[in-house]
């Protein structure tokens, strides 16, 4: 497998992160928008803490680059990317709550309920999820109403009971009732996979790609979702607090079911390679225009080392 052309890729990843960060900062300004009454200071601060604290912005990058592949308007793509990042960050804020994963640290910083309080973390998450749909519905997206409403629906399905939140529920259930391999795969496809899939699907939809291309990118997103989770599980086996900024080995400590626990590390690494190959094959029709997304697939897999 070719290694990532790391300098060009790193540059584009950083650029997308900067751009979506700037838009998120603007969306979380003090100024109430039309039909809003006021923006309470502490809640706004908690939302900013949850969403502006860095992170690689991988999902926004995937939206932006998939949209670019189909010649989409970069501003439209950034709005879709910002909406998706709001959903991703809200899920982290709620996932870190004492009643859920009970994490005090994320990316080396105190989590929202530690930096603020539990009630603020619940509400900040709620407000971020709501903001995502506000952003997608806004004319500032510069997309026709039909496209915006389609994106609202796809994001809602990717994030809701049949997607990410459903996956979180299955993950909770797995703590007391260990799933079989198929159950574990389904849980991961929902919890982690659904939003990564939306990133690629949403980028294509925002760019007005045809049905076949949307389906192809949806499949691409699904595969890199699997690769992402597998890399995470492999990383969890080997890394420590210093490199991850969270309590590593925690999943393994809980005896959590993963592809690695079912099939062993060597098989997992082989499977990861085959996923990257499949992702790259899906991009072949696009020639060198698809190179940056192929790099993304390799980057995701490389996280396992």
Give the C-alpha separation, 132 to 137, whole Å: 9
Please provide residue 73's backbone torsions phi and psi, each rounded to the nearest 5 degrees.
Answer: -65, 120
By the rule CB under 8 A, 148 interacts with a second copy: yes
Q: Name the one range near a second copy by CB under 8 A: 30-38, 53-61, 223-231, 295-303.
A: 30-38
Q: Which of 10, 14, 22, 149 binds a second copy (CB under 8 A)?
A: 149
| Contacts with a second copy, 181-220, as mask; x by CB under 8 A | -----x--xx---x--------------------------
By the rule CB under 8 A, 36 interacts with a second copy: yes
Structure tokens at 68: 């670019």
Nearer to a second copy, 5 or 118 (CB): 118
Q: Which of 73, 109, 137, 239 binds a second copy (CB under 8 A)?
A: 137
Q: Of 197, 155, 174, which is closest to residue 66 (Cα–Cα)?
A: 197
Q: Which of 133, 179, 208, 303 binds a second copy (CB under 8 A)?
A: 133
- Taking the complex as a whole, the smallest distance from the CB of residue 217 to a second copy amounts, in Å, to 14
Sequence length of the chain is: 305
By the rule CB under 8 A, 180 interacts with a second copy: no
Please provide residue 106's backbone torsions phi and psi, each rounded to the nearest 5 degrees.
Answer: -145, 130
The count of other CB atoms within 10 Å of the CB of residue 158 is 24
Q: What angle do CA 224, 245, 197 make, to 5 degrees?
A: 20
By the rule CB under 8 A, 44 interacts with a second copy: yes
Query: Contact 294/279 with Cβ under 8 angstroms?
Result: yes
Q: Which of 123, 184, 214, 231 binds a second copy (CB under 8 A)?
A: 123
Query: Contact 82/196 with Cβ under 8 angstroms?
Result: no
Give the C-alpha separation, 126 to 176, whole Å: 27
Q: Name the one range near a second copy by CB under 8 A: 137-145, 227-235, 272-280, 288-296.
A: 137-145
Q: Give 106's strand partners.
A: 109
CA distances from 198 to 25, 235, 292 (A): 22, 24, 18
Q: Name the one range near a second copy by CB under 8 A: 8-16, 39-47, 265-273, 281-289.
A: 39-47
Q: Which of 131, 196, 200, 231 binds a second copy (CB under 8 A)?
A: 131
Nearer to a second copy, 133 or 286 (CB): 133
Structure tokens at 268: 């997992």
By the rule CB under 8 A, 39 interacts with a second copy: yes
Nearer to a second copy, 7 or 176 (CB): 176
By the rule CB under 8 A, 47 interacts with a second copy: yes
Longest dimension (CA), the chain: 56
Give the C-alpha separation, 159 to 142, whole Å: 23
By the rule CB under 8 A, 240 interacts with a second copy: no
By the rule CB under 8 A, 35 interacts with a second copy: yes
Beta strands in the chain (DSSP E): 105-106, 109-110
Query: Contact 114/61 with Cβ under 8 angstroms?
Result: no
Residues that bind a second copy (CB under 8 A): 32-40, 42-44, 47, 90-91, 94, 97, 99-100, 117-123, 125-127, 129-131, 133-134, 136-138, 144-146, 148-150, 152-163, 165-166, 168-170, 172-173, 186, 189-190, 194
């Amino acid at each position: 497998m070719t290694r990532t052309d790391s300098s060009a890729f790193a540059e584009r990843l950083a650029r997308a992160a900067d751009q979506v960060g700037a838009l998120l900062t603007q969306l979380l300004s003090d100024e109430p928008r039309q039909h809003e009454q006021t923006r309470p200071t502490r809640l706004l601060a908690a939302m900013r803490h949850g969403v502006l604290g860095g992170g690689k912005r991988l999902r926004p990058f995937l939206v932006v680059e998939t949209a670019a592949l189909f010649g989409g308007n970069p501003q439209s793509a950034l709005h879709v990317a910002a909406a998706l990042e709001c959903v991703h960050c809200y899920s982290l804020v709620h996932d870190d709550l004492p009643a859920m994963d009970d994490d005090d640290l994320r990316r080396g910083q105190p989590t929202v309920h530690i930096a603020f309080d539990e009630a603020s973390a619940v509400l900040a998450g709620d407000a971020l999820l709501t903001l995502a749909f506000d952003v997608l519905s806004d004319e500032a997206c510069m997309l026709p109403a039909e496209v915006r409403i389609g994106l609202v629906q796809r994001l809602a399905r990717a994030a809701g009971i049949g997607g990410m939140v459903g996956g979180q529920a299955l993950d909770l259930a797995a703590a007391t009732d260990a799933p079989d391999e198929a159950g574990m795969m389904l849980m991961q496809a929902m919890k982690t996979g659904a939003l990564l899939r939306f990133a690629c699907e949403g980028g294509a939809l925002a760019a007005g790609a045809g049905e076949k291309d949307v389906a192809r990118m949806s499949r691409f997103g699904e595969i890199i979702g699997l690769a992402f989770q597998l890399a995470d599980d492999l990383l969890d086996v080997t890394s420590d607090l210093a490199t991850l900024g969270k309590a590593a080995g925690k999943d393994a400590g809980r005896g959590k079911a993963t592809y690695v626990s079912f099939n062993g590390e060597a098989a997992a690494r082989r499977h990861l390679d085959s996923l990257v190959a499949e992702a790259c094959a899906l991009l072949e029709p696009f020639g060198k225009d698809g190179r940056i997304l192929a790099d993304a697939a390799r980057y995701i897999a490389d996280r396992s080392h």
